[in-house]
């Protein structure tokens, strides 16, 4: 133990170098564990981009494609679901609720989504969190629209602004529904999900702006004004997809089979969690790359320690001879250098974790509002313990290199002081 | 006998030339021996053999009735910690330890010297301060200063206090005065003598400075006694010494 107190005093004596080494180890540990925690949470958050929904139903297509257009608003549906089929399936006894989705129009690059007020009630993200309206209220009037946070922020909209919806997804659409402008009545709080990039209107509104359209173009000579449209029957003829909640999870596969075998038209029901993890497997390569990069940062940090210890050895040969003269064994000299490496590694790891928790506490609100990732501040997970253990083991292994060199030097030098 | 060397021959490697060849060297308890010799005469090697960092290739080195060549390297390190105080030519102190911690350093490696030191003073630090005071290093201000800011003479006196800490039987001083001014050399040696007398330690003092010789009980001319130095080519040995 005497030799460890020597190691500690020796570190204090070279505190500038020691502190720099300590900081580089600490920062690399913060990065490593931080990346691990963020990627775990990013995966969990991605997997719950849509939660609380038991099944997503759309026209028959691939599971990932259905997920992409119904949840991520990427790409287009190949086909629609007829209103009758939707009504029929929604009436299934095991179905607790449904939220219809009608896509196809856009506004300056953002998708317009037709739905019902049930959307605001049942849509859940990030482990069951409900959509919150930052300002305003849900749509009530036919020509009301509720904007996602990013739509409002990027285009600078506020409550009461009028907007024109364009037909189709193209940014430079020539076909605009400019005879029926919408009024902004609500802006949603940021979720970090595709909801932020969506304009929400009622299903009836989607129907209303298309009453005088056919095959993607206005019907020549036919013009129905915004006010005239209010008087018409605006029950949709078809929707793009719908989200479904069931009375019990147990019924999921039964209802899924029922939808997939629906005789009237070819439909597909998918479990969002399963489809989301399929999608994550496609794009999740990046997270592993990130972890590998941060592991390399730890290696670089430890190499810094190796350099600092090795370069100090030559000027410390006199110190080792003095220690040998008072009876220290070469093993003590090894323990002295190892002790320094051990202190640096352990303190660096400890400081790194402290930095991590500090930045989590400070950064959590920002991460949550910007990216919708809720990072819990709990103790290290077993995998994180494993990472920390690996860092400490690596630190001791790295320390044994200068330790062994010092051992050899002190064995060769004995009491003769050579510089 | 504190030191009893018989038929000692030493070479670094079996193929290397002989460095030391000493027929007979004995030092009685309490004796103050001056070992004289130019560099290359094998002084450092002899001190390494006496302090047990190296062992005789042929012959025997008995220190305080322990044949060092029969001890393992760990035992020899332990033996040195318990029985030998060592003073270097210069830069004797661990730079990151305080003056007092430098003096008590041997007690970290030897329970025996720790016990002896505690038998004299109530606490290790008190015993260290007592020794420092005897060596005219009793200003509280000096104890607080970083050892690297002490003058060379002060550093050597701290080193002497460390070598005396816990009353080892044998004190080895390897040219401890060569970095001191001429007038300081004698006073340092006198202080060393006083302390050795008080603790009953045997002193082996190595120097190439023959002007100090008259202060000692007995002197030993290594160049004359070391038979291998006489016949060897001085140059190769000097090299071997310096490597």
Residue spans of chain A under pLDDT 50: 419
Q: Does B77 touch chain A (CB under 8 A)?
A: yes
> How much is the pLDDT for A174?
64
pLDDT digits (tens, 9 = 90+) for A151-171: 999 899 989 998 988 887 665
Residues in contact with B49: Cβ distance below 8 Å, sequence separation at least 6, in sequence order: B5, B8, B10, B20, B55, B56, B61, B68
pLDDT at A104: 86
Domains of chain B with CATH codes: 3-242 (3.40.50.300)
For residue B53, what is the nearest residue in chain A, using CA coordinates? A414
What does residue A84 show for φ and ψ, rounded to 5 degrees? -65, -45
Nearest-Cα distance to chain A for B67, in Å, is 17
Choose among B171, B175, B176: nearest CA to B199: B171
* B180–chain A Cβ distance below 8 A for any pair: no
pLDDT of residue A26: 93
Of B94, B96, B110, the CB nearest to A327: B110
- The answer to whether residue B110 neighbours chain A at the CB level (below 8 Å) is yes
Q: Which of residues 11-70 of B touch A (CB under 8 A)?
A: 44, 47-48, 51, 53-54
Chain B nearest-CA distance from A403, in A, is 18
Q: Are A322 and B102 in contact (CB under 8 A)?
A: no
Among residues A75, A79, A190, A77, the alpha carbon closest in space to that of A131 is found at A190
Stretches where chain B sits below pLDDT 50 are 233, 235, 237, 243
The 3-state DSSP class for residue B238 equals helix
The confidence score (pLDDT) of residue B70 equals 86
Residues of B in contact with A332 (CB under 8 A): 109
Q: Tell me the chain A residues in contact with residue B156 when contact means C-beta distances shorter than 8 Å.
A: none
pLDDT at B7: 84
Q: How far is A2 from chain B (nearest CA, A)?
A: 6
CB A206 within 8 A of CB A236: yes
Is the whole model's pTM more than 0.80, yes or no? Answer: no
Gap between the Cα atoms of B110 and A281, Å rounded: 62
User: What span, in angstroms and rounded, lies between the C-alpha atoms of B109 and A247?
Assistant: 76
Three-state SS for A131?
coil
Q: Which residues of A touch B174 (CB under 8 A)?
A: 415
- What is the predicted ipTM? 0.84
Of B77, B88, B108, the CB nearest to A329: B77
């Amino acid at each position: 133990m005497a030799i460890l107190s020597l190691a500690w005093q020796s570190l204090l004596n070279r505190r500038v170098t020691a502190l720099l080494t300590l900081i580089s180890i600490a920062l690399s540990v913060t990065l490593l564990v931080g990346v691990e925690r963020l990627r775990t949470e990013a995966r969990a958050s991605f997997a719950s981009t849509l939660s609380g929904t038991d099944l997503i139903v759309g026209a028959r297509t691939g599971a990932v494609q259905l997920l992409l257009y119904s949840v991520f608003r990427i790409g287009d549906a190949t086909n629609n679901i007829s209103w009758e089929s939707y009504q029929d399936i929604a009436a299934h006894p095991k179905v607790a609720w449904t939220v219809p989705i009608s896509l196809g129009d856009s506004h300056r690059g953002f998708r317009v989504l037709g739905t019902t007020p049930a959307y605001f009630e049942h849509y859940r993200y990030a482990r069951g969190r409900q959509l919150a309206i930052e300002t305003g209220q849900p749509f009530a009037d036919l020509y009301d629209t509720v904007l996602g946070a990013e739509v409002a922020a990027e285009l600078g909209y506020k409550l009461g602004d009028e907007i024109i919806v364009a037909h189709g997804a193209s940014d430079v659409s020539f076909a605009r529904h400019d005879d029926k402008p919408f009024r902004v009545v609500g802006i949603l709080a940021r979720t970090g999900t595709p909801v932020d990039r969506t304009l929400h209107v009622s299903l009836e509104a989607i129907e209303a702006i298309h009453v005088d359209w056919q095959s993607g173009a206005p019907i020549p000579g036919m013009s129905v004004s915004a006010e005239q449209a209010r008087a018409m029957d605006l029950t949709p003829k078809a929707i793009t997809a719908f989200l479904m909640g069931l009375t019990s999870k147990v019924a999921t596969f039964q209802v899924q089979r029922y939808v997939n075998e629906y005789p009237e038209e070819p439909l597909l029901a998918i479990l969002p969690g399963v489809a989301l993890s399929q999608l994550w497997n496609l794009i999740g390569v990046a997270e592993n790359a990130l972890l590998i990069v941060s592991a390399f940062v730890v290696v670089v940090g430890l190499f810094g320690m190796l350099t600092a210890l090795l370069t100090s050895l030559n000027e410390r040969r006199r110190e080792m001879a003095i220690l040998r003269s008072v009876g220290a064994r070469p093993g003590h000299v090894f323990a002295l250098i190892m002790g320094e490496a051990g202190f640096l590694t352990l303190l660096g790891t400890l400081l790194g974790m402290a930095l991590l928790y500090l930045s989590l506490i400070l950064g959590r609100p920002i991460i949550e509002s910007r990216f919708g990732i809720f990072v819990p501040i709990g103790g290290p997970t077993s995998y994180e313990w494993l990472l920390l253990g690996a860092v400490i083991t690596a630190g001791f292994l790295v320390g044994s290199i200068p330790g062994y060199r010092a051992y050899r030097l002190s064995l060769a030098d004995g009491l003769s002081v050579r510089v | 006998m504190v030191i009893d060397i018989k038929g000692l021959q030493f070479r670094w490697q079996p193929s290397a030339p002989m460095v030391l060849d000493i027929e007979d060297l004995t030092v009685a308890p309490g004796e103050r021996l001056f070992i004289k010799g130019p560099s290359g005469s094998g002084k450092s090697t002899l001190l390494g053999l006496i302090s047990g960092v190296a062992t005789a290739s042929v012959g025997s080195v008995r220190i305080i009735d322990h044949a060092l060549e029969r001890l393992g390297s760990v035992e020899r390190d332990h033996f040195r910690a318990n029985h030998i105080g060592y003073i270097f030519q210069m830069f004797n102190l661990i730079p990151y330890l305080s003056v007092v911690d430098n003096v008590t350093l041997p007690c970290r490696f030897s329970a025996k010297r720790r016990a002896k030191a505690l038998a004299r003073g109530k606490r290790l630090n008190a015993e260290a301060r007592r020794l420092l005071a005897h060596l005219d290093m009793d200003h509280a201000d000096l104890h607080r200063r970083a050892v690297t800011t002490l003058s060379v003479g002060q550093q050597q006196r701290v080193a002497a206090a460390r070598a005396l800490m816990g009353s080892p039987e044998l004190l080895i001083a390897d040219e401890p005065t060569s970095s001191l001014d001429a007038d300081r050399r004698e006073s340092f040696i006198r202080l060393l003598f006083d302390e050795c007398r008080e603790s009953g330690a045997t002193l082996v003092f190595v120097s190439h400075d023959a002007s100090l010789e008259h202060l000692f009980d007995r002197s030993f001319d290594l160049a004359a006694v070391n038979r291998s130095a006489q016949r060897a080519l001085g140059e190769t040995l000097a090299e071997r010494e310096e490597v």
